[in-house]
Structure 1
Amino acid sequence: MTSALLIGLTGGIGSGKSTVAGMLAERGAAVIDADAISRATTAPGGAALPAIAQVFGPTLIGADGALDRAAMRQLVFRDASARQRLEAIIHPLVGQETDRQAQQALAAGHPILVFDVPLLVESGARWRGKVDRVWVVDCDPATQIERVMARNQLPREQVEQILAAQSPRAQRLAAADTVLFNGADTTLDTLRQQVQRAAATFGL
């Protein structure tokens, strides 16, 4: 269908996936950020808000007109079915916008498209079938926890809950065609060198 290379980029929270996406963009790849698209659907005026209010009630919409993320996070951790109902609303919207941006990037002649998808592995065949290669940004769970606690100002217990809701590290690594390690001792220069080596394989 297309001669462009389609890369699915993923990694657990706090792994440094967004940093790698930025490095690939610097090298000329078109980066399509599924997480940013998802957040936009629940921002003020977002396309997902009417359905969220209908399914979960208007109390899940904050005074600013956006999804009350803290309240939804608590609900999802208490009720696994709530996550499924939320994803049933958001995922089709994300898929539509992702496809739109991909077509736009292809029309612009980008040779490589990078789909930045936090839950690529968790989505199973839905995303794996759309990309040619899966790149995983990897680090140990202890480093993930420390980074997210510092970045998001969240308590350890809450970060551990977030990690528990994502695929285990071994499952992500098993799905990877390319692994970029970004541990506690990995410098930006070292990470950039890994990205350069992996990208050079595809002429980027």
Structure 2
Amino acid sequence: MIKTLLILMLFFTCSNSENSGHAENSLSPSSGETLIVYLSRTQNTKVVAELIQNKVGGELVALEKENPYPEDYQKIVDQVDRENEEGYLPPLKTKIEDLESYDTIFIGFPTWDMQMPPPMKSFLTENDMSEKTIIPFNTNAGFGIGQSFEQLRELCPESDILEGFSVEGGYEKSGVFLAIEGERKEEVSDQVDTWLQKLGLL
């Protein structure tokens, strides 16, 4: 009887140890290792961020400025143009106190002025990304990533930057806002699967 109990105790101890090791290495919210930071105006980048979270887990954080951009499209275009020309980095409302606890960080943003949006530049400038794995994703109005991924590499020279993902979203200039929904969302979900599989994350 005692021998049988000892065998059962050993079995459950080993099983729990194996399960614990698996949790530490997985890209799940409970591991605390994966962060998904995104900036989204028309919510297309947000949809992609949520798709990523559903597939690999992780903590989802929306990036916000202290002073929001104007709602009027032309006004925000003019303001972003000035900020890019002057190299201005807008103050952020969003603060991530425990950034050092994350090993893998997805960085998502739309293409603005054929560049990375100024608030995302602020985030990458304010926070130390050294020795972290950075995975960029992007939405755009059909004109691609512009300089944005190159700017990411310049701002994170000590990071391991993996292949990024880019997909067409809305076209705010023409009044097309949230475009990644319904059947289009399913198509983008499949594209995200292919990308994550290529990176070895699925």
TM-score range, shorter chain: 0.3 to 0.5
The higher radius of gyration belongs to 2
Decide which structure has greater helix share: 1
Higher relative contact order (CA 8 A, sep 6+): 1
TM-score, normalising length: structure 2: 0.43
TM-score, normalising length: structure 1: 0.42
